[in-house]
Amino acid sequence: MKKLALIFAVAVLIPSLVLAWLAIRSLKDQQFLLERQQSLLYQGTADTAARQAADLIESCNDEFAAVLEQLLRGQDPASLVATFDETIRGHWPLAQLGFVVSLDGRVLCPKPNGRAEARDFLGDYSRFLGNRETLEVYSNVKQLPAQVLANDQKQQESSSWSKDSSANRLNAVLRNTQQRSVVPQQNYSKLEQQVAVPAPQPAVDNSSRVSPSETEFRQLIGEQSRGSLARYVDNKLNLLVWQRPAKDPGTVFGAMLSLPRLVEKLEPVTRTMDRSLAAEACVVLLDDSARPAAKSHPSFQTNWKRPFVATEIGEALPHWEIGIYLLDPARLPRSAGLFKLTLGLLIALLVATIGTGSWLIVTDLNRQLALARKKTDFVSNVSHELKTPLTSIRMFSELLAEGRVTDAGKQREYLGIITAETARLTRLINNVLDLAKMDRGEKNYRLQTCLLNEVVCETVDLLRPHLSSAGFQLKVAVPEELIPVRADRDALAQIVVNLLSNAEKYAGEQKEISIELSRKSGAPGRAEVRVLDRGLGVPRGCEEKIFEQFYRAHDSLNSGIPGTGLGLTLARQIARAHGGDVCQERREGGGSVFTLWLPTTANDP
Ligand code: ADP
């Protein structure tokens, strides 16, 4: 049994508890994991939107090239130059201003005496376009078609805004590392950290991945056919696209883009999100000051500096970002909390189940151990119980058989002893057989209506000679009123015999036994047979155990009283099979009272 308990502990209990402990530890990280999972999901969306935005801006170059080509088709470059500002604005809504520069540094359009916007432009850019000044710009250039620049062997085809080797080659004199205007939540290792730190500093590098290069316009162009550049003038973003027509590669036509129109063009990018995600998050196009330029949920407001995830658009729109904001930021901790609670409850249930299972197994093991011990005791008790009467029977029958006892009185006495011992043997064997039958569910009762008065009187009469000869004073109180019960007569007699023989066995010095039959007062339809003695009494704590199989409160070793621990078990089982019970209580003044109660029947036998 101990080995079994050890195997159970090693194979089931300890691993289960370790697993439960690990699961409880992992509970703490659930919120972080959930947030991480979500941020990965939304990061993908933000990256895609940022890519789409960059592609749309890239397409402005193509649009400009197409418009210019159309304009040049109708007229020759020289005649277009003078009116290019007005012409391009008239033909391309995205253009806010048109300019023309010759490769040798002459600004051909707009004219210095033109409209105010043109004058401002010239103030900001004429020295740069004329190659007399370097500026910090974010640039992107495109190569001329191969047939135009056939002499340039080293040109490479490039279409990317951010990784253009030619632009990078342009001596990046000064590279500023700028911080991003937003701090996405995924930059923190844990949500708790954000809550704990009121003005959080990013746990990871939050510097922008785009940085300006300081360059002259001529240097920027190199041998490229077209390109674009972005620049901040007084914190206002200027976006310029330019093109060297194949017809006249010595002239650079360019346009400054209208930012509000560009934003209109980019607006659909915020609405490309998956529908299920759109119900939970808002996609926002953020400008360089982290102000929303366009958003998927127009009425949504929040702290724009703290998106859940964000991606920079790149050199095409420097320091502009696609930010994703949770519509209900409390939902994440709430779901994490719910998840934690569910998991916690499951773990608690698991631990409780393991605990209950272990307790049941230990209890059962203990029960099995106790039963095994009791069975061993039973075998030795039964052997003893069989041996004692058999020895007396053999001794007295030998004495009588050898004719050594001539006195008639003695002969009667010995015969009486032989009869009593035989009855004891019969009782013992009956008890053992009956119990075995009951255990197998084979015990059948022959129920009939009989008078309890008769059963009690007959049984007492049967035992009276033996008890009297053993020096017992037996008081019998049976009422004149007849008490009918529906029962197996022999089985009832067996209960009474067992109770009386216990009263005899555990009588001690005071050999006084009473048996009383009555209708139970206050409980109509119930009769009780009470067997009272002034004997040893049932030790405290054993009041219920004495009804268990093989249990003996006074064992043979210590008390010297023989027994098997079956009499009361049997008595109770028979009584319960008849709808009644056998109970024990302490008797005032010492001794015990054993009560058999049974339901009565109205019918007379
Ligand atoms: P047995 O008498 O063979 O041991 P029982 O089932 O009849 O088995 O009784 C169980 C135990 O209950 C006894 O061992 C004894 O300790 C206790 N007991 C039964 N009857 C009495 C009684 N009248 N007085 C004191 N103890 C009793």
Q: Using one digit for the tens of pLDDT, what is the confidence trace for 279-313?
A: 889 999 999 999 999 999 999 999 999 999 999 99
CB atoms within 10 A of CB 331: 12
Test site for ligand 1: of 381, 432, 538, most ligand atoms within 8 A of the Cβ: 538
- Ligand 1 centroid–CA 151 distance in Å is 121
Question: What is the C-alpha to C-alpha distance for residues 406 and 215, in angstroms, rounded to an integer?
Answer: 147
Mean pLDDT of 249-276: 91
**Best of 506, 540, 548 for a ligand 1 pocket test (most atoms within 8 Å of beta carbon):** 506
Ligand 1 atom 14 nearest Cα: 552
Nearest CA to ligand 1 atom 23: 503
Rounded distance between C-alpha atoms, residue 100 and residue 96, angstroms? 14
Do the beta carbons of residue 429 and residue 464 sit within 8 Å? no
- pLDDT recorded at residue 76: 80
Residue nearest to atom 7 of ligand 1 (CA): 567
Q: What is the pLDDT of residue 150?
A: 42
Q: Which residue is closest in CA terms to ligand 1's atom 21?
A: 502
Q: Ligand 1: distance of its center to the CA of 504 in Å? A: 10
Closest protein CA for atom 27 of ligand 1: 538
Identify which of 187, 272, 291, 40 has the alpha carbon closest to the alpha carbon of residue 283.
272
User: What is the pLDDT, as a whole number, of residue 149?
Assistant: 40
Instruction: Give, in order, the Cα–Cα distances in Å from 312 to each of 164, 325, 326, 365.
Output: 17, 15, 18, 68
pLDDT digits (tens, 9 = 90+) for 46-92: 999 999 999 999 999 999 999 999 998 878 888 889 899 999 999 99
pTM reported for the whole predicted model: 0.55
Q: What is the pLDDT of residue 423?
A: 83
Ligand 1 geometric centre to CA of 568 (Å)? 7
pLDDT band at 1 (very low <50, low <70, confident <90, very high): low
Nearest Cα residue to atom 16 of ligand 1? 553
The rounded distance, in Å, linking the Cα atoms of 61 and 51 is 16
CA of 550 to the centre of ligand 1 (A): 10
* Residue 171 pLDDT > 70: no
Q: Rounded distance, CA 429 to CA 426, Å? A: 5
Segment 129-156 shows an average pLDDT of 60
Ligand 1 lining (C-beta closer than 6 Å)? 498, 502-503, 505-506, 533, 535-538, 546, 552-554, 563-569, 592
For residue 421, the model assigns a pLDDT of 84
- State the SS3 of 91-134: HCCCEEEEEEEECCCCEEECCCCCCHHHHHHHHHHHHHHCCCCC
Of the candidates 599, 41, 573, which has an alpha carbon nearest to the alpha carbon of residue 276? 41
Residue whose CA is at the smallest distance from ligand 1 atom 20: 502
